[in-house]
Amino acid sequence: MRERLLSLLLRTKRPPLAVGIICGALCIAAEVLLSLFLERLTSGDFLGGIYLLGVLLVSVVWGLGLGLGTLVGSAVAFNYFNLRPRGASRTGRAGCGPRSRSSFSWGSRSARSRRWCAH
């Protein structure tokens, strides 16, 4: 009985790589949706930890290579959806004026900054 349980937990063969890529993408999508939902309910200081859950799952099942790919995808998603442009705050739209520091130093605002300032 004990050996059978261990054989179920310790696989010798990994699932196909395509399934791992799909699982990583679905994990990132679920993490984004969960973090956007929780950001409305809480202060949002802990949201970075949510993005590690998918990385952990993919790394355990598919190994280091796909885990690093999921890590990069999760970091990009976290940066895009959860970090605000420089100078912006939660309550106001600091940094959205025509002479704001971010638009002045870079020449023109990025699409993400324009989207943030438009809301």
Per-residue pLDDT of 19-75, as tens digits, reads 999 999 999 999 999 998 998 888 777 888 899 999 999 999 999 999 999 999 999
Identity at 59, one-letter amino acid code: S
Question: What are the φ and ψ backbone dihedral angles of 67, each rounded to 5 degrees?
Answer: -65, -40
Work out the number of other CB atoms within 10 angstroms of the CB of residue 47: 19
Closest CA to 78 of 28, 24, 117, 42: 28
Please state the length of the chain.
119
pLDDT at res. 77: 94
Predicted TM-score (pTM) above 0.85: no
Half-sphere exposure of 86 (CA within 13 A, CB side): 9
Nearest to 79 by CA among 108, 102, 112: 112
